[in-house]
Structure 1
Amino acid sequence: MTQLNKTLLAVAVALASTQATAAGFQLNSQSATGIGRAMAGDAIIADNASVLSRNPAAMALFDKSEITVAGAYADVSVEVTDAKLADGSLLGNIDNAAEGKPIPSFYYINPINDKWAFGLAAFSNYGTGTDMAPLTQGHDFNTPIDLLGNTAVTTINFNASVSYRINDSLSIGLGIDAIKGMGSLSREGQYTFPYIGEKDLSLVDIEADAWGFGGIIGLAYEINENHRLGLSYRLSPNMKASGDIRFGQDVSIGDRPLLVAEHFGEVDIPMADIAQFAGFHQLTEKFAIHYTAQWTNWSNFESITLADGDQGTDAYILKEYHWEDSWYLSFGATYDINEKWTVRAGIAQDQGVVGEVSSLSIPDSDRMWYSAGFTYNINPHSSIDFGYALVAGEKVHVIEESMLTGTVEAYTQSGANYYSLQYNYKF
């Protein structure tokens, strides 16, 4: 495998998991109530069945079965400005390099007795969609087509959990996660070779999917009926994606190959564990505050590895990333206007994961979340929720090395508008 093919592979796989609206490539969009309070207190509030996505121990707070069905739309925005090569050649700007994504979720909690409960859930923790190809078009010079193109990634988390109430104050929960990941990626465009001239290159073409298995453990501690704390730890798997994975194409000068196409059977992408601490405090009959401190073990994302190459490549470390662990800190409040209406709001600081090694392929940054939402109780059994969040990221200067054109740099800024609607039914 040529050095150029190795570099193309490293960049392409990295891009396949970027441009989400939280640190690294996480999504924080598991419920409308959570979005409406910037996820503050989500691991312990237990105002609907979506708490299952954050802390299985909180199922012990339910005395009736409940179903929650939610749908969110992440209107993601990624701006790229002043993109240029080392010689000053301008690649241009992109007003929006991201794609919006619908994000559905489902939760069911069933208390078996006063000690045991079980639950089932389906939701997404990761997702992205970007198109950087416009930066490679309309130029009379070679552009870094190895770095820029189309990307789409989706994951679905299937969870089964149980909880056990140890005593009046303490409960424990355990869950198993089965994660389905699906992705597609292409890197193509025109490139002018010495002595050969201009050629249409399809450097990367990926259609891959994977299953990974992890778990979650949680604790719920009720100080009294108005104050409680939650703690959870989610163990995430390494995703081993397989499918149609092609890199490069055959390009030669006479009998001397410049590029050689190679097919691979598997790409290994490490995922991050997540620890979360949350609190809920009902200060008055109508007013409550809540908060969350979430730590994500992104330092686990050190490198990406490929395996099973058709030219004899067994295992190869594509690229070192040196990501850093990140914190997500949020604070929110809830107010019950009357028996029918509840309003909520939240604010959060989301820490980026990229350290000293910056990259155009991962334009991550610190972000602020500003959110609000409401609940309308239709009757004692049914309610609907709406949540909105504005995510504002910092503008960052990023640099990437292309094997085709050398150093590429740009300024990127990412953000999003989250809209979510949810229905809850208590049996």
Structure 2
Amino acid sequence: MKTKILFIPHPMASHIIPLASLAKMLSPESYQMTFLLPKEFHSHIQNLGFQTFEMDRQWNDELMKELMTIEAFRPDILVDDLNFYTGFSSRVHSIPRVSIVRTGILPNEQNTPGYEHSSGLIKHFDKLKSFKLYEENMWEPQSKSDLFVGDVNILPAIPSIEKLPDKIPDKQSYFYSGPLVLNDLDMTATGVFSDDMFKLVSDFLSRNEDRKKIYFTIGLGQPEVIYENALTCLQHLLDKGHAVITNIENFEPHEEVAAQCFYAPFVPMNQVCRNVDLMIHQCGSATYNYQLQHTLPAIVLGSKCYDRDDIAIRLDEVNAAEYISADLDRGTYHDKFINSVQRLLFNKEKIDAMKKILCRLKGEIQKVQEEFDFDEIINTLLSKHHNSKTKTKVL
């Protein structure tokens, strides 16, 4: 009999992809896997060979559709990524929960004061804290981490960069997986970009083969605190003669340098990162891991989001990237950006030193990925859950 798993991501591509990556680690001969998603993502997941529950689950649906799906599908285990309601639904149905967790939602963290979480979870927390199940106050989360920590927790990272807090409870329930991403061909299957994108990127790189090439991404959310500075920074790169691949929206380069700029909201990340000299990013969870996997020198632009900036500060500390805080005044910010670009494109000693660190971190990623066994984690959790239920019945 197959083990039934319900995958429940926060309804955004950046949280769906890690769960798809986990699902690909499991054999369909042993597992029946279904995703609960907004309808717009159903075909994306189906193209990867996975089932979707026939329900259009949106963010504002809150808890009810999740409970209805669990009642109908009757999963043996729930696997979620930053889903605000699985802490409640797993308790209602007494189903073990595997959660993807990251810096910013770990218990007993010391985050940068005055910053927010990129998901906006703080503004929703008071509402969720008082959420009533079946009109009864069955469970009340006491902190943001209570919402997201499961019976087992997976960090899509490595210990050198995303450290567990010293006083984290149940430390043995945390496992590092390394990056949870899809390869470029799988991303094509999801419909995020078409097959033509590979040739478009390749042609752009060929046309600019004599220039320094830079990948400049500020993520899907295009955070306002980064966006305004990013426009000026992007124009500076083009004016200096560099070629830039970017996802920065509504940017109109000067006509004389327009051929040096390639815009697309999504690109084949591995193809791009293999062929550029520098990456500029906002330190999204998957984004910074592409940088590490491709040993690519990088500049990280601060967003005043502690789940990103705290990692960016760590990357800067170990000399795996240079971090530019959003708290800097405009003049200092741009001076620091210009100097960082100059160093990381032309200072061989600096580039070699950073690449040496990046090679070590890439090696750590490979080791963590080799040791991670999702199938074993699931079976161990289910065995513990079964034994716990058996003991309860005996008592």
TM-score, normalised to structure 2, is: 0.24
Greater helix share, 1 or 2? Answer: 2
Greater fraction of residues in strand: 1
Query: RCO higher in 1 or 2 (8 Å CA, sep ≥ 6)?
Result: 1
TM-score, length basis structure 1: 0.23
